[in-house]
Amino acid sequence: MKKHLMYKISAVTIMLFLASCLFIQTTGAIDETPKIILTSTAAISDEQLSGDVNGDSKVNMTDIIILQQVISKIVTPNDTMTVCGDVDENGAINMSDVVITQRYLAKQISSLPYDAEKEALILRSLTINNSSINLMPNDTYKLSYTFSPTTAVVKLNWTSSDNSVATVDNTGRVTAISSGRAFIMAKSDNGVTSTCSVLVKSPATSVILSNDKVTLGLGEPYTLSATVDDDHYANSYTYTSSNRSILYVDKNTGQVYTVATGTAKVTCTADTGATGVCTITVKTAPTGVTLNTDYMEIGVDESYTFLYEIQGGYDNNPKFESSNSAIGKIDEKTGRLVGVSDGVIMIRVITYNEVAAYCTVVIREEPTSVSLSKNSLTYGVGEMYQFSIEFSENTYARYYYYESSNPSVVKVDKWSGKMEAVGAGTAIVSVNVYNGINDSCMINVKNAPSAILISPSVINVHAGQYANVSYALPSDCYADEYRYQSSNTAIATVDAKTGRIETKSSGTCDIIVSVYNGVTATCKLTVAPAISKAEEILESVNAERAKYGVAPLTLNSAATAASQIRARELASSYSHTRPNGTSCFTALSDQGLKCISSAENIGYGYIYTQDVAQAWIDSPDHHKNMINAEYTQMGVGYYEKDGSTFWSEFFVRLK
């Protein structure tokens, strides 16, 4: 392990060490003590400065370094050093000379060589004993001061920064003139100064009370306080009541004691004669108190401020309390609660006459993440959306708010999260939680639809069959909110969102699609009378054959009987081989049919004929059978067992 030792040395010490190194020269063996020998044969000049040991006509840090080297015997002094370095003139160079020279450089003494008697007469520091005083006009005050050294000769010049506020004479006596502030300065001949702030105030002409109108409950404690504005003064106040049968007041403290309901005035009189009045209305004591909620949740570090209502009387300032301040702290006056840690507490609000109400508060860990119900949306101008949020597991936040990056495109209610698209463009809606976490949703707003197309626009089906419709909008328009509806639900119903039509009976009706701004389109639906499933399959097959220019088929009753048998057999063995092990085509011969050619399509799980027919169309091998021009007739069978459906169709060309 590496260890470090640290120490601190002064800048002067470093300079001394560096200077010492610069002056060292080695003579002789390596183990000899290095020394510097300075010699001079010149006579000492009469103009040589005391302290100027290197003879450069000035006293500076170099001279102090040389003195240190002389004392350490690194340097052998010559005559000039001995004379000029002995600044205290005691006949030797020692640390006293170093200290005196340092004090000279620091301007703590005035000259070298050091003359203690002379220095004792020079003023070094001055302090006016009052840094500030308050006076009334025409008041006078004699400022006093301290100085060092105490032997110094002190001659001061006193001045005021503003003689219209306060003046000062040559003895330091201040005379207050008018309201305002002035600064009194004392300055010595050698430039040492000290200052005192003088604030001059006029006698108060009015009293400012803590309230000029108060309502109290009978027996409620209350204390008035008084002051005056900053430009005036008052030293004492006396309080009196206009009606002691309603309330009385302590004349010195302003403590109010209510006796009966009614109204009385408390007058506060200052020693300057100024007054202030508070009107106090006394009402009956509270008979009850309620909080705005009896249960709530907040997160750790989240705050909430309770509201209360007094019943049957009045309380000027009920008190709030927490059952456990380690879980939740509450301000007893404002009712502001702050969650401290995970847990459950009871909050109580109590009146002066001990009527109380309670609220259970659950404080949960603060969220580490928040998720909006959508992270991207496309809407049309005028559409609305309601955002919701989720917090990380087992956490909670009561305070969060929504905001939009571009209110000209998207507006969002700060607290509810209800959004409205107001202009084409893009905007980001974000949710911000009290502890700084957030989430956002990118919203693309397009123009409101000016037109809408429905497809297909005409549908012909039989009763019992279904159909599908869809809609399209111009590319620069959008609608998230749309719905399909039928003009006659006795004939057909339609799913409001998917557009799937279920036919009920024969007739005609309209299938209408509408978007949020009222634009609509209509599909004409004609429902023919119901036909058998075999006939429905035949229609589907012939419609597909017509696409390929192939002649239509007709139903053969014997082939249909054979298909019906096969549909039943499929429920037990889903295969083109019959349960007895013979080919599926034996079902045709069992019905007395003699075929030149034949084919079978089977299917299961389809409820509607349209679905099974479409499945056969989508399958290449089944589709070949359906459009094969070799066949001229067909049969269809359908069987349902235990909720499952089975289908069979034979295609035949008879001999």
CATH of the domain at 590: 3.40.33.10
d(CA 342, CA 326): 10
Under the banding of pLDDT at 50, 70 and 90, the label for residue 47 is: low
d(CA 217, CA 317): 10
- Looking at the fold, whether 296 and 240 belong to one and the same domain comes out as no
**Boundary of a domain, candidates 242, 260, 283:** 283
Over residues 506-522, the mean pLDDT reads 97
C-alpha distance from residue 216 to each of 261, 281, 515 (Å): 9, 6, 60
Over residues 640-655, the mean pLDDT reads 95
For residue 89, give the CATH number of its domain.
Answer: 1.10.1330
Domain that residue 321 falls in: 288-364
Q: Is residue 426 in a domain? A: yes
Q: Is residue 51 in a domain? A: no
Q: Is residue 507 in a domain? A: yes
The answer on pLDDT for 57 being more than 70 is: yes
- Looking at the fold, whether 182 and 244 belong to one and the same domain comes out as no
For residue 470, give the CATH number of its domain.
Answer: 2.60.40.1080
- Looking at the fold, whether 77 and 106 belong to one and the same domain comes out as yes
| pLDDT confidence of residue 276 | 97
Under the banding of pLDDT at 50, 70 and 90, the label for residue 30 is: very low
Q: Is residue 625 in a domain? A: yes
Q: Is residue 539 in a domain? A: yes
- Looking at the fold, whether 318 and 247 belong to one and the same domain comes out as no
- Looking at the fold, whether 550 and 631 belong to one and the same domain comes out as yes
| pLDDT confidence of residue 48 | 62
**Boundary of a domain, candidates 145, 180, 200:** 200
- Looking at the fold, whether 217 and 248 belong to one and the same domain comes out as yes
d(CA 360, CA 424): 47
Nearest by Cα to 634 from 646, 645, 625: 625
Give the residues across from 248 on adjacent strands.
257
Q: Is residue 24 in a domain? A: no
Give the pLDDT confidence of 608-639 residue by residue, as tens digits.
999 999 999 999 999 999 999 999 999 999 99
Q: Is residue 313 in a domain? A: yes
The answer on pLDDT for 40 being more than 50 is: no
Q: CB within 8 A of 373, min separation 6: which ones?
A: 387, 388, 389, 390
- Looking at the fold, whether 191 and 207 belong to one and the same domain comes out as no
Under the banding of pLDDT at 50, 70 and 90, the label for residue 231 is: confident
Residue with more model confidence, 64 or 602: 602
| pLDDT confidence of residue 148 | 86
151: tokens are 């032997």
Mean pLDDT of the chain: 89
Q: Which residue has the tokens 């032997």?
A: 151
- Looking at the fold, whether 466 and 387 belong to one and the same domain comes out as no
The answer on pLDDT for 199 being more than 70 is: yes
| pLDDT confidence of residue 321 | 97
User: Which stretch of DSSP H or E encloses residue 19?
Assistant: helix 11-23
- Looking at the fold, whether 208 and 253 belong to one and the same domain comes out as yes
Nearest by Cα to 423 from 405, 444, 402, 449: 444
Out of 103-112, 218-227, 570-579, which region has the weakest mean confidence (pLDDT)? Answer: 103-112
Q: How many structural domains are present in the chain? A: 7
- Looking at the fold, whether 114 and 131 belong to one and the same domain comes out as no
Q: Is residue 13 in a domain? A: no
Question: Phi first, then psi: what are they for 67, rounded to 5°?
Answer: -60, -40
- Looking at the fold, whether 582 and 605 belong to one and the same domain comes out as yes
Under the banding of pLDDT at 50, 70 and 90, the label for residue 43 is: very low
Nearest by Cα to 443 from 375, 490, 489: 375
d(CA 277, CA 207): 8
- Looking at the fold, whether 626 and 590 belong to one and the same domain comes out as yes
Give the pLDDT confidence of 250-281 residue by residue, as tens digits.
999 999 999 999 999 999 999 999 999 999 99
**Boundary of a domain, candidates 323, 341, 364:** 364
Give the pLDDT confidence of 145-189 residue by residue, as tens digits.
998 888 887 889 999 999 999 999 999 999 999 889 999 999 988
